[in-house]
Amino acid sequence: MRYFAYLEFDGTAYCGWQIQPGEPSVQQCIEDALFTFLREKVAVTGAGRTDAGVHASQMVAHFDLDEARDCDWLKSKLNGILPADIAVRRIVRVRPDAHARFDAVRRTYRYYVSMEKSAFSKRYCWYLPNRPDFELMNQAAAILLDTVDFTSFSKLHTQTKTNNCRVDRACWSELDDGRWVFEISADRFLRNMVRAVVGTLMKVGRHQMSVEEFQDVVDSHDRCKAGDSAPANGLFLTAVEYPDNIFTE
């Protein structure tokens, strides 16, 4: 029996989603929690990787059990064992061949910045002492909607077969509390892609790079020509979407 678990986590204390030797990971925490009450090793597969320090208000992962279990019972057991910075929002039954990573049709990330320093939001927001030019950044972000090859914003030396992505939303907007958020949605994301995009857009917003030069960076397919990656703490995975036909209930 295959299940999808919808999770949220504060990534501050973790090396990221994926298990790393000698480092705390979200994936390892969930597998350990399942073992604690099921007394069997259960492999958990996530919808994708997140970098160290990156958060998720919605991550999806799948796992298999030999016999059917009540979804609410599984959720309750997991939440009773998992640390306070990881929570299961719901668990649903899916088709035996459903895959949390490969069946996802759309993912959305949000990156938060603020021009007001706060002792309480520093783990979840990039503090900017000076306001960047968000209008100019949106002009540059619009270029991403017509981009296919995102090599310029990909971590180097990965095993990815292609760096092609289809971005259908990329926009900065102001929130009611004065923060700004960059929301980007695509069919898939490369490793470090969102943080690299935000870091490069910030060069545009600081008038260190023109919109035309941003286009040149995209066209160069050269990560070295893009800006530094934005800090991990402002980034959230906020949605992973699937076709309806993979769900059984």
Catalytic residues: 51
Structure tokens given for 32:
């350990």
Task: Tell me if 28 sits within 8 A of 19, measured CB to CB.
Answer: yes
In whole angstroms, what is the distance from residue 113 CA to residue 174 CA?
Answer: 10
In whole angstroms, what is the distance from residue 20 CA to residue 216 CA?
Answer: 36
Question: Which parts of the chain are beta strand (E)?
Answer: 2-9, 45-46, 55-64, 86-94, 106-114, 126-127, 167-174, 180-186, 235-241
Structure tokens given for 234:
């402002």
Structure tokens given for 108:
């959305």
Q: Which of 134, 140, 152 is nearest to 211 (CA)?
A: 140
In whole angstroms, what is the distance from residue 197 CA to residue 41 CA?
Answer: 38
All residues at 6 or more sequence positions from 239 whose CB lies less than 8 Å from its CB, including other chains:
58, 106, 107, 108, 185
Return the ∠ at Cα 197 (arms to 108 and 119), rounded to 5°. 80
Task: Tell me if 237 sits within 8 A of 50, measured CB to CB.
Answer: yes
